[in-house]
Structure 1
Amino acid sequence: QVVGGVSVGAADMEGDCLSCMKYLMFIFNFFIFLGGSFLLGVGAWVLVDPTGFREIVAVNPLLFMGVYVILAMGAMLFLLGFLGCCGAIRENKCLLLFFFMLILFIFLAELAAAILAFLFREHLTREYFSRELKRHYQGRNNTDVFTSTWNVIMTTFDCCGVSGPEDFDESLFRLLNPNKMVPETCCQWNSYLGDAGVEQCMSSSAAFQHNKGCYSAMVEYFEAYIYSAGALAIVVLAVELFAMVFAMCLFRGIQ
């Protein structure tokens, strides 16, 4: 049957497709909303937990920084899920458009980060890090971001320098600390010798030093995750593209 030049059957089919798309998008974004809520809850619990878990995490600055990353990701997913759910179920074109723009911004930011990482990959060489370490590392200066970051890396990975203890030869650290061969973070803690072992390590004894460089230690650590991270990044980009197409189709289908 044709009414006003428009097939009633076609109109019904279009309405059914729009309704199906609306509920599929609601379900899809509801899971995103739940994921964001869960991450927010975990991050908030770690920060305010009265049982002492916060202090355990705070011992390692990398873990403590991860808590804020979890909170940021949780907030972003919470907002995306909320906008997507409300926009779909209420058929609100403004919310759908905002959802689309937010996803597009995140997608472009991720794409830009990937391009920049590719363009500046030559700066991630062992020689580059060694040169920067010699020029800027100061030892126990916790107010210098570069120095404190390297202290965290060497403590976390039980390593010394970029390639090894020899990286501190003819360095700013040796200039500031002429009586020390390596910083304290390069030393293995020995419960029998205690502070005496640390002093020997810093002054001369290679027996108490971490001889492995941080470059090799970090490459080995992240090598197991690099392919999983790459696959996850592709999946995330595909989901974002899918969400943008879905949102725009629903936006255009709403009368």
Structure 2
Amino acid sequence: MSCFTFLKVMMILFNLAIVIGGGVLLGIGIWVSVDSSSFLHIFGPLSSSVLQFVNVGYLLIAIGAVLFVLGFLGCCGAQKESKCLLIMFFSIVLIIFIIEVAAAVVALVYTSLAETILQGTVVQLLKNEYNKTSDITTVWDTTMNNLKCCGLSNYTDFTDSYYTTHHLGLYPPFCCKNSNPCNATTAESSDVPGCFPQLLSEIRKNAGVVGGVAAGICALEIAAMAVAMYLYCGLDEK
């Protein structure tokens, strides 16, 4: 078996795995979007931490769809020995790789700015959607109950929110210690901490695992691009 044939077979098998993985992520994304409470129950506090910052369901659907298309291009490109499909595969992987590197640089260099923007975005989501959208309400209820916290920064995140407007100025019970009803005065005296520091702590505990997975993905992307380009150039010699 020649080197070209071996790499062609490996390319097909590798991209079949990507197609299957993309399909699995699509299924999980749909499941999370439809039934986030089960996702929270199975994966615990970390899942609720992540769900504060990104809509995991839609994110997984998007990633699954991209992987499915990418795997299809790579598999068909190698099988049919199509230069067009191979160069499309190479280009998409290269774009994804550049985006990942850029995101990593931004996250490292502008950590404080990213956190500020993130806080502003999540607080607005909390004010407008808590107790209005069932998925967001379930995620926040689980988080505040498990971490014994209130809002992202503190109880003031609920001031003039959808919740207080529709509950005669009252705050969620998580914002008060043994107080019913929970109004602004009792919430201030209870001094229940915000969830943001604890959420960051939960995420940072798993930073090593996330970093290792990211490094592995980057290595696979580089290998995939190298093989795709080798096959592309090899077709000219056939």
Pair in the same fold by TM > 0.5: yes
Partner letter of residue 39 of structure 1? Answer: L
Whether 2:30 is the aligned partner of 1:40: answer no
1:54 is aligned to 35
Matched residue SS, 2:71: helix
Aligned counterparts, 1:25-174, within 5 A: 25-44=11-30, 54=35, 56=37, 62=51, 65-124=55-114, 128=116, 141-142=128-129, 155-158=141-144, 159-162=149-152, 164-165=154-155, 168=156, 173=159
* Contact 2:31–2:57 (8 Å) recurs in 1: no
Whether 2:4 is the aligned partner of 1:18: answer yes
* Contact 2:171–2:184 (8 Å) recurs in 1: no
Structure 1 residue 185 displacement after superposition: 6.6
Q: Tell me, which stretches of 5 or more residues in structure 1 are unaligned?
A: 1-14, 48-52, 144-148, 191-196
Partner letter of residue 123 of structure 1? Answer: L
Partner letter of residue 175 of structure 2? Answer: C
Once residues 136 and 15 of structure 2 are traced to their aligned partners in structure 1, the CA distance between those partners, rounded to angstroms, is 40
2:183 to 197, 202, 209: 202
Once residues 123 and 227 of structure 1 are traced to their aligned partners in structure 2, the CA distance between those partners, rounded to angstroms, is 22
Please tell me whether Structure 1 or Structure 2 has the larger radius of gyration of its CA atoms: 1
| Pairs aligned (count) | 217
Please list the CA deviations of residues 204-253 of structure 1 after superposition, one character each: whole Å capped at 9, or x if unmatched.
33599572222221122112211111111111111111100110011101
Once residues 126 and 16 of structure 2 are traced to their aligned partners in structure 1, the CA distance between those partners, rounded to angstroms, is 49
TM-aligned CA distance change 1:91 to 1:185, over 3 Å: farther
Please list the CA deviations of residues 131-161 of structure 1 after superposition, one character each: whole Å capped at 9, or x if unmatched.
959xx76985439xxxxx9978753421225
Structure 1 residue 75 displacement after superposition: 0.8
TM-aligned CA distance change 1:155 to 1:102, over 3 Å: same
1:50 is aligned to none
Partner letter of residue 61 of structure 2? Answer: L
Matched residue SS, 2:35: helix
TM-aligned CA distance change 1:210 to 1:16, over 3 Å: farther
Once residues 120 and 221 of structure 2 are traced to their aligned partners in structure 1, the CA distance between those partners, rounded to angstroms, is 37
Greater relative contact order structure (CA < 8 Å, 6+ sep): 2
- Compute the TM-score of the two structures, normalised by the length of structure 2: 0.71
Partner letter of residue 215 of structure 1? Answer: F
Structure 1 residue 79 displacement after superposition: 0.8
Q: Which moved more, 1:88-97 or 1:36-45?
A: 36-45
CA RMSD of aligned residues (A): 4.3
Once residues 139 and 55 of structure 1 are traced to their aligned partners in structure 2, the CA distance between those partners, rounded to angstroms, is 17
- Structure showing the higher helix proportion among its residues: 2
TM-aligned CA distance change 1:123 to 1:89, over 3 Å: same
* Contact 1:43–1:68 (8 Å) recurs in 2: yes
Once residues 139 and 238 of structure 1 are traced to their aligned partners in structure 2, the CA distance between those partners, rounded to angstroms, is 38
2:175 is aligned to 187
Partner letter of residue 51 of structure 2? Answer: L
* Contact 1:153–1:214 (8 Å) recurs in 2: no
1:217 to 187, 195, 198: 198
Q: Tell me, which stretches of 5 or more residues in structure 2 are unaligned?
A: 41-47
